[in-house]
Amino acid sequence: MGALLDFKNGIIGMYQAIRSVWFILLPFPLYFAFKEIWMDYACSAFMGNIEYVLLEIIPPQNIEKSPKLMESLFLGMAGVMKTPNVFEEFLDGFLTHRFSLELVSNEGMVHFFVRSPKQFRNLVEAHLYAQYPDIEIREVSDYTGEIPPVIPNRTWDIWGADMELTGPDPLPIRTYKFFEEDITGNMIDPLAGLIEVMGKLGLNQKIWLQYIIKPLPETWAAKEGGKDLVEKLAGRTNGGAKSNWQIIKDDIGDVFGNIGTKIVGGELKFTPHEAEKKESQPVEFKLTPGEKKVLESLESNIGKNMFQTKMRFLYLGRRENFTKDVIAGFMGGVKQFSDLNLNGFKPQDASKTYANFIFKKSRLRFRQRRIFNRYKSRSMDGVTFVLSSEELATIFHMPDMAVKSPFIQRVPAKSGGAPANLPIMQ
């Protein structure tokens, strides 16, 4: 009975203590919890109010231009970047506008799409017409609506994965600059192999490839690790002075670390605060030719406009024609953008539509339906990475005339205006 009474008194005492200090302790965790919930709601509402249009881009018959021209479109998209004020950020839930670049094969016919906020449609069209005057752009309905809303089902199957980089950001992939013959100097279109794979699909088979991009601030490279990676590759990471906070942390660590050392009679050790002396030998003498090439490519890449990118791949088909051999062919087409010394693409294992061990069937269906719904909603959930305007122009551009694949829908004839001296009938 005494123990029960002591327990009761303890509860009463704890309650009284909390009641006297709750207004000091609770506001901090409640603030962060409320902020997280509110920002999620505000940002979702902001994105839900944006109206989008899906534009199909039909290339002309004869394009003798490098993918470099496509960079103009991405530089224009970078112009939508805006730094919101406090009210826009926390009350309106403002987020930078996103665009979706989509390469789609429908039973072997390859289509190019750009999904844009409606307010920026003119921006997209202006930059495309400026570089490709004979191009055709038309607004179309969303092709994802042609598929049953719930798959897999009895007649349809699906395989998909989010793509990730093989190396660290922002090491570049193999861009169009490297797709050039050594002897003739002719450009090899980077999309040629991938388009051929997508053009080999059979009846009731589809490939959907999606790049959702969001422009990043021009200061991204300096603040988010681009310059740090340059310093690391150049071997200059150890020469900088320590911050005051780092010095304090080192001193605290030395105090507790030396207590045990003193007890056993060992030698005390202290972390030096002075910056390490740089080697007098120039950096270019310490790097191999391959390392110099990597460093040059990295510095060139971070000097361009950068975009947070979501890359997603889906293969869909009726069960009677569904074959995973298509997936192997597609991954082989994506490999051409890889450079073992730099970067490349690979499927992220956690997003693949497979399941092992327990509840395999239900877990597999969950993964398949999740990635299908994320594709349809153009969601950036999951792994993302950073690509430059040059890298985006490499993986999404209008194929040139050397790509003679009959599977690309092209403008049937070149259009032109009427002659200026055409007589006018009275």
Higher pLDDT residue, 16 or 52?
Answer: 52
Q: What is the pLDDT of residue 286?
A: 65
The mean pLDDT of 209-227, rounded to a whole number, is: 79
Residue in this structure with the two tokens 């994965």, named with its chain if needed = 161
Residues 377-383, mean pLDDT to the nearest whole number? 92
Using CA atoms, how far apart are residues 379 and 372, in angstroms rounded to an integer?
A: 10
Quote the pLDDT of residue 383: 93
**Residues 398 and 66: beta-carbon distance below 8 Å:** no
**The predicted structure's pLDDT at residue 426:** 46
Q: Taking each helix axis from N to C terminus, what angle separates 289-302 and 226-233, rounded to the nearest 10 degrees? A: 170
What pLDDT is attached to residue 378?
A: 94
More confident residue, 353 or 35: 353
Mean pLDDT value of segment 33-50: 87
Please, which pLDDT band fits residue 91 given cuts at 50, 70 and 90? confident
Kindly report which listed range (159-168, 220-229, 293-302) carries the lowest average pLDDT score.
Answer: 220-229
Name the average pLDDT for the chain.
81
Q: In this model, does residue 259 exceed pLDDT 70?
A: no
What's the pLDDT score for residue 114? 96
pLDDT range class, residue 142, cuts 50, 70, 90: very high
Integer angstrom CA distances of residue 119 from 80, 122, 140, 385, 424 = 11, 7, 16, 26, 39
The pLDDT value recorded for residue 55 is 96
Per residue in 155-193, pLDDT tens?
Answer: 999 999 999 999 888 889 999 888 876 655 567 788 888
> Measured between alpha carbons, how far is 115 from 99 in angstroms, rounded to an integer?
6
How far the first Cα of the chain sits from its last, in Å, is 116
CA distance to 27, 49, 254, 299, 399, per residue, from 388 (Å): 42, 28, 43, 12, 20
**Concatenated DSSP letters for 256-317?**
HHHHHHHHTT--------SPPPPPSS-HHHHS-HHHHHHHHHHHHHHTS-EEEEEEEEEEEE
More confident residue, 200 or 292: 200
Q: Give the separation between CA 99 and CA 190, rounded to whole angstroms.
A: 22
Q: How many CB atoms lie within 10 A of CB 153?
A: 12
Quick one: pLDDT at residue 173? 92
pLDDT at 223: 60
In the prediction, which pLDDT does 170 show? 82
CA 406 to chain centre: 30
The answer to whether residue 425 scores a pLDDT higher than 50 is: no
Give the residue-averaged pLDDT of 264-269.
Answer: 58
pLDDT score at 82: 83
* Mean pLDDT in residue range 40-66: 87
Tell which residue, 167, 165, 169, 172, has the closest CA to residue 297: 172
Question: Given this model, what pLDDT does residue 87 score?
Answer: 83
pLDDT beyond 70 at 71 = yes
What's the pLDDT band for 422 if we cut at 50, 70, 90? very low
- Within 10 angstroms of residue 149's Cβ, the number of other Cβ atoms is 11
- How much is the pLDDT for 239? 45
Cβ neighbours for 295, distance < 8 A, ≥ 6 positions apart: 230, 233, 234, 287
**Which residue is associated with the tokens 């709750």?**
22
pTM of the model: 0.79
- Please tell me the CATH code under which domain 50-218+305-395 is placed: 3.40.462
